[in-house]
Amino acid sequence: MSIWFRVDYYQVLGVNKDATDEEIRRAFRKLAMQYHPDRNPGREKWANEKFKEINKAYKVLSNPEKRAAYDAPVYAQPQITHEPYRPAQSNQKGFPGWAKFLVGVGGLLLFLYLTAKKS
């Protein structure tokens, strides 16, 4: 199971969750001007990463459909289901395959022990 953290786009833009489209647009424009790579000489790489993050946040929050999906609870997202584990059926009688393997390993270890003891 992988652990991931969702970026809070409202925090990136510095607005409340109930912000209007106009407030989101104003916050985006202000931050885009502040963190544009051309306005940060000597720190272009950092400014470019920050600028990309701001753009991504704006693309999600400015689109009503994407914003609604973003605001939906995580547990409401579709989940992937898997088939339950079913052990393979075998027509063979006696020990299952893994037991034969363990017996084989035990025999090998016994052989190595006896060979080493003779030396």
Q: Is 96 left (phi over 0), alpha (psi -120 to 50) or beta?
A: beta
Per residue in 24-56, pLDDT (tens digit) is 999 999 999 999 989 888 988 989 999 999 999
- Asked if the structure places residue 81 within a domain, the reply is no
Quote the distance between the C-alpha of residue 109 and its chain's center: 43
- Whether 82 is in a domain gets the answer no
CATH number of the domain where residue 68 is located: 1.10.287.110
State the residue range of the domain holding 46. 9-76
Q: Would residue 86 count as lying in a domain?
A: no
Number of domains present in the structure of the chain: 1
Question: Does residue 15 lie in a domain region?
Answer: yes
pTM of the model: 0.57
| 1 within domain boundaries | no
- Does residue 66 lie within any of the structural domains? yes
- Whole-angstrom Cα distance, residue 39 to residue 89? 67
Predicted confidence (pLDDT) at residue 3 exceeds the cutoff of 60: no
Q: With respect to residue 3, please indicate whether it lies within any of the assigned structural domains.
A: no
| Helices assigned H by DSSP within the chain | 9-13, 21-35, 44-62, 64-71, 97-118
Residues 56/22/74/1 CA torsion (nearest 10 deg): 20
Q: Is residue 95 part of a domain?
A: no
Q: Which is more confidently placed, 106 or 61?
A: 61
pLDDT at 1 exceeding the cut of 70: no
Q: What is the pLDDT of residues 54-90, one digit of tens each?
A: 999 999 999 999 999 888 876 555 555 555 556 556 5
Decide: helix, strand or coil at residue 18: coil
